[in-house]
Amino acid sequence: MRRRLALHGLVGLGLVSRLGQAHGEAARLLEALREGGAVLMLRHARTEPGVGDPPGFRMGQCATQRNLSEIGRAQARRIGQTLAAQGLEPRAVRCSGWCRCIDTAELAFGRHEVWPALHSFFAKRAALRDPQTAALRHALAQLPARGFEAWVTHQVNITALTGAWVDMGEAVVLRGGPDGGTMLGRLSLAA
């Protein structure tokens, strides 16, 4: 009976196929978050068209940045709703200082803490990539065993840490550990 209720919940969230079979990967990754000692590393939700930031970008001034589109705002809300429907709430929500990441965190989780290790290094790859990735690995090595954290960031950070490419609004689930963490898989929560 409990399994049927869990599957019913996954159907409503788009995590179960039309055939009624659970997507094993999604269920496994949600369970990893539930078990704790994990991170949901989320790429910010869908933005207005473009790559990087426009000329004149300034941190803290959203009008100078590429921001979430209306589709992205709805996507971020669905991410939060999906996790809440599964009884999953991150113990901490850290994000890049870019407005698109802050807005994603606020719409999905209702809170955020800016963490420079999650800032984009798209335009300054050589100078910032290695120290930021090392800071993320260090945080994964120190991750508490209870609960999970949500880290809202940019594609470059996710790829530098895991080698994976995720679309806007998609995530990777990482298990913390003394080795600097392990990627458990990719997860789409806004289907």
pLDDT above 90 for 101:
yes
Total domains in the chain come to 1
Q: pLDDT-based confidence at 20, cuts 50/70/90?
A: very low
Average pLDDT value for the chain: 87
The answer to whether the Cα torsion of 106, 56, 129, 43 is positive or negative is positive
Look up the domain containing 91 and give its range.
23-188
| Residues contacting 90, CB < 8 A, separation 6+ | 40, 83, 109, 147, 148, 149, 150
In a domain, 10, yes or no: no
CATH of the domain at 115: 3.40.50.1240
pLDDT at 126: 63
Range 12-38 average pLDDT:
71
pLDDT at 129: 86
pLDDT at 51: 77
